[in-house]
Chain A
Amino acid sequence: MIWQAVLDTVAVIRERRRPVITVFWRQLYFSGFEALWATLIVAVLLGTVIVSQVARIAGSESEYLTGKMMVWVVVRELAPLITAIIVIGRSVTAIATELAQMKVSGETEYLEGLGIPLGHYLIVPRSAALCCSMMLLTAYSAAGTLLGGGLIASFGWGMPLAHYSQGILAILTFDEIATALTKAGLFGLVTANIACQHGLIVEQRVTQIPQAATRAVMQSLMAIFLIDGFWALLFGKG
């Protein structure tokens, strides 16, 4: 299945089919753009909570520790995870339901009958869009959390913004950002494929549509936490 997905992706990139590109943009709009505000609000609130806790434990003159916590905990870990959970709640359910509905109503057969492979038209653009959405939203989420943290650090705990920024910039490297974005992209690819797989394996019964969505959400959640755990074990020593 993974090999087939790779072959489909290569074929789609090489052929640049217009309907596939349209599906990609629509999915990107739904998963990336329409989820922006929800992700930002959660991120800002998360930043305020984390900075409040760190300041409470270490005191308001702990800029360096606060910066370290924000980069290591938020940028590297929580931003991709929280974003993934939001995307799973919105997009994975939507994809699994939509594809299951198409399968039940026979539309997947219509597409194949038109000479359009399902992998090319349904799976690849959704996977690519979810991957890009997750990376973009993670970047926004990290920025929102750092901003929210900065505001609460400054106004709530009297920590000068300049000190707070210096604490973060001292720790934040290109590697940290690349790690977070790579992980987010991987979350997007895996969750999109889980959603597509569950959507397309339903039989001809309408009652299986919500079941497909539920299974896709649960497996996606398990998958992202597993990936995160393995990632921490493999790359978390540096």
Chain B
Amino acid sequence: MPPLLSITDVPIAGYPQGVSFTVDAGSLAVVLTYGQEANDCIVRLLLGLIKAARGDVSLFEVPLHSTTQRQIFQLRTRIGVVYPNGGLIANLTAWENLVLPLEYRGDLSADEISLRAESVLLRLGYIGSVTAPSGTLSMYQRRLLGLGRAMLGDPDLMLLNGILDGLGDSECQNLLALITAFHLEKQERITLYCTANLEIATTCGATQIIRLRGK
């Protein structure tokens, strides 16, 4: 089976000579980088937000350099991303942030989306007002909501950008448990942590650890 995600000889922040790695379907993988800048760079490459200066990036067997903008937006609907700050939109409430991608896609009725979002909030153990502006939430709440938003889309690829960095032990364990359980729900799903923290790489139950070399 060909890898569902591959980066070949692509220079990223801190690794000018280029990095290469592949991740197979169903893997729970960790990319161990030197820092947040490199994490951001990998996430942007995989989302097609930046083009590789050289080399190839391929996602779901689709080479990103030869895709149209429309195809890239289609691919992104199969990806769930959680950023270090949650990646929420400041002028929307917690609830609006949670349901935004599903509402935008328009495949489901408003009632169906509400039901799913409420069940995800329960599953996350989210405590806090859903009508609060996202800017007033704690970092942990923002990451939880970012994770919930990604989970609602039932993605084939979960990109977790520094999601566990800087959290307390119990919060970290809670997120790890949620992510691992969610990963196992879909056989082909790839979960990819991008982190500079070796401890997280060893405790998250990864089936594959990729150490980027070159810094």
Give residues in A with beta carbon < 8 Å to B.
Answer: 15-20, 98, 101-102, 105-107, 109-117, 121
State whether B47 touches A17 (Cβ < 8 A).
no
Task: Give the docked Cα–Cα distance between A136 and B47 (Å).
Answer: 41
Task: Give the docked Cα–Cα distance between A17 and B100 (Å).
Answer: 10
Residues of A within 8 A of B105 (CB): 115
In the assembled complex, 28 residue pairs joining A and B whose CB atoms fall closer than 8 Å, in A order, are A16-B106, A17-B103, A18-B104, A18-B106, A18-B110, A19-B100, A19-B103, A19-B104, A20-B104, A102-B89, A102-B91, A106-B83, A106-B87, A109-B44, A110-B81, A110-B83, A110-B88, A110-B89, A111-B89, A112-B49, A112-B76, A114-B101, A114-B149, A115-B77, A115-B105, A116-B100, A116-B104, A117-B73
Q: Which of A17, A105, A113, A116 contacts B49 (CB 8 A)?
A: A113
Q: Which of B74, B87, B96, B101 contacts A116 (CB 8 A)?
A: B101
State whether B90 touches A105 (Cβ < 8 A).
yes
Q: What is the chain A residue whose CB lies nearest that of B76?
A: A115
Given contacts A102-B90, A107-B89, A110-B83, 9 further A-B contacts (CB under 8 A): A18-B106, A18-B110, A19-B104, A102-B91, A109-B49, A113-B43, A115-B77, A117-B73, A121-B104
How many chain B residues sit at the interface, stated as a range, is: 20 to 34
State whether B103 touches A113 (Cβ < 8 A).
no
Give residues in B with beta carbon < 8 Å to A.
Answer: 43-44, 47, 49, 73-74, 76-77, 79, 81, 83, 87-91, 96, 100-101, 103-106, 110, 149
State whether B81 touches A113 (Cβ < 8 A).
yes
Residues of A within 8 A of B100 (CB): 19, 114, 116
State whether B73 touches A115 (Cβ < 8 A).
yes
State whether B83 touches A114 (Cβ < 8 A).
no
Residues of A within 8 A of B44 (CB): 109
Residues of B within 8 A of A121 (CB): 104
Residues of B within 8 A of A101 (CB): 90
Given known contacts A15-B106, A18-B106, A18-B110, is B101 in contact with A115 (CB within 8 Å)? yes
Name the 6 nearest CB pairs between A and B, nearest first: A115-B76, A110-B87, A115-B77, A114-B101, A18-B103, A113-B47
Q: What is the chain B residue whose CB lies nearest that of A114?
A: B101
Residues of B within 8 A of A114 (CB): 76, 81, 100-101, 104, 149
Given known contacts A112-B76, A115-B77, is B104 in contact with A107 (CB within 8 Å)? no
Task: Give the docked Cα–Cα distance between A117 and B89 (Å).
Answer: 14
Residues of B within 8 A of A107 (CB): 89-90
Min CB–CB distance B72 → chain A (angstroms): 9
Min CB–CB distance A61 → chain B (angstroms): 56
Residues of A within 8 A of B103 (CB): 17-19
Task: Give the docked Cα–Cα distance between A117 and B73 (Å).
Answer: 8
> Which residue, of B44, B76, B149, has the highest number of chain A Cβ atoms within 10 A?
B76
Residues of A within 8 A of B74 (CB): 115
Residues of A within 8 A of B91 (CB): 98, 102
Residues of B within 8 A of A112 (CB): 47, 49, 76
Given known contacts A18-B106, A18-B110, is B76 in contact with A113 (CB within 8 Å)? yes
Given known contacts A18-B110, A109-B44, A109-B49, is B104 in contact with A115 (CB within 8 Å)? yes
> Which residue, of B77, B88, B100, B110, has the highest number of chain A Cβ atoms within 10 A?
B100
Min CB–CB distance B160 → chain A (angstroms): 13
Q: What is the chain B residue whose CB lies nearest that of A109?
A: B49
Q: What is the chain B residue whose CB lies nearest that of A112?
A: B49
Residues of B within 8 A of A111 (CB): 89
Min CB–CB distance A163 → chain B (angstroms): 52
Task: Give the docked Cα–Cα distance between A21 and B103 (Å).
Answer: 11
